[in-house]
């Protein structure tokens, strides 16, 4: 096998191995994240699991001992009970402020993890809050029950991006292999030429 082809083969092999490692690392990260998610305090002590009709019977000690907090908000949007971390700026909220909180509580850039549950019998909300340690969100979500009007355009864009990415990798691999090969082959060719001249007595 010629040196140029050998170098090209080596670069392609490195590319494939690197890609395989990256994909394996992603799946390993996803699997680890799923197992880690089960042990996080924010998933152990949720608003639904702590909910109780009698506010005084809500077991909040585990929440506060893990640097969290709970708030009970009545139907008039007033905080009637609070222990531990409290991210609300005031005790009496407006409908707009409460709606804004519910919206912000789902923001991936938030510094706290919120769990909210509503008690229909007693008509109050229970909010459980824990400070975020580190959050890395990377999710690919697809609705298999209903077709989106944007599906075709989104799939087309993703396909184009992946195709361009692969094409650029292939081109860069070919160019780099040729450039690297020339670094070796030119001196070798010159050396071979000199050796031939010496052998012929030139």
54 and 127 in a common domain:
yes
Helix axes 3-39, 151-200, angle to 10 degrees: 140
User: Is 67 part of a structural domain of the chain?
Assistant: yes
Q: Which residues face 128 on adjacent strands?
A: 70, 115
48 and 33 fall within a common domain: no
In a domain, 26, yes or no: yes
Residue 14 lies in a domain: yes
Whether residues 48 and 109 share a domain: the answer is: yes
Query: pLDDT at position 135, please?
Result: 66
Quick one: 49 and 127 in the same domain? yes
> Do residue 51 and residue 122 come from a single domain?
yes
Within-domain flag for 143:
no
123 plus 48 within the same structural domain: yes
- Is the Cβ–Cβ distance between 12 and 4 less than 8 Å? no
On whether both 80 and 124 belong to a single domain, the answer is yes
Q: What are the pLDDT tens digits along the chain (202 aa)?
A: 565 666 667 777 777 787 888 888 878 877 877 777 777 888 899 999 999 999 999 999 999 999 999 999 999 999 999 999 999 989 999 999 999 999 998 887 788 999 999 999 999 999 999 998 776 666 666 777 777 777 788 788 888 988 888 788 778 777 776 666 666 666 666 666 666 666 666 5
Q: What is this structure's pTM?
A: 0.63
- Backbone φ, ψ for residue 71 (5° rounding): -135, 140
Asked if 54 and 127 sit in the same domain, the reply is yes
48/100 same-domain check: yes
The pLDDT score that the predictor gives to residue 180 is: 66
- The answer to the question of residue 187 being in a domain is yes
Q: Would you say residue 140 lies in a domain?
A: no
For residues 56 and 14, state if they share a domain: no
Domain count, the chain: 2
Residues 112 and 176 in one domain: no
Its domain, for residue 161, covers 3-37+150-200
87 shares its domain with 9: no
């Amino acid at each position: 096998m010629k040196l140029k082809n050998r170098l090209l083969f080596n670069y392609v092999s490195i590319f494939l191995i690197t890609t395989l490692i990256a994909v394996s690392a992603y799946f390993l990260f996803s699997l680890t994240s799923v197992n880690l998610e089960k042990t996080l305090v924010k998933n152990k002590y949720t608003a639904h699991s702590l909910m109780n009709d009698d506010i005084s019977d809500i077991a909040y000690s585990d929440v506060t001992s893990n640097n969290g907090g709970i708030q009970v908000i009545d139907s008039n949007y007033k905080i009637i009970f609070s222990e531990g971390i409290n991210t609300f700026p005031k005790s009496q909220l407006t409908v707009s402020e409460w709606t804004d909180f519910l919206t912000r509580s789902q923001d991936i850039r938030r510094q706290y993890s919120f769990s909210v549950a509503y008690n229909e019998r007693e008509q109050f909300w229970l909010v459980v809050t824990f400070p975020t340690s580190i959050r890395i969100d990377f999710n690919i979500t697809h609705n298999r029950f209903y077709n989106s009007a944007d599906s075709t355009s989104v799939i087309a864009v993703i396909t184009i991006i992946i195709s361009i990415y692969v094409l650029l990798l292939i081109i860069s691999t070919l160019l780099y292999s040729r450039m690297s090969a020339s670094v070796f082959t030119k001196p070798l060719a010159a050396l071979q030429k000199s050796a031939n001249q010496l052998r012929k007595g030139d």
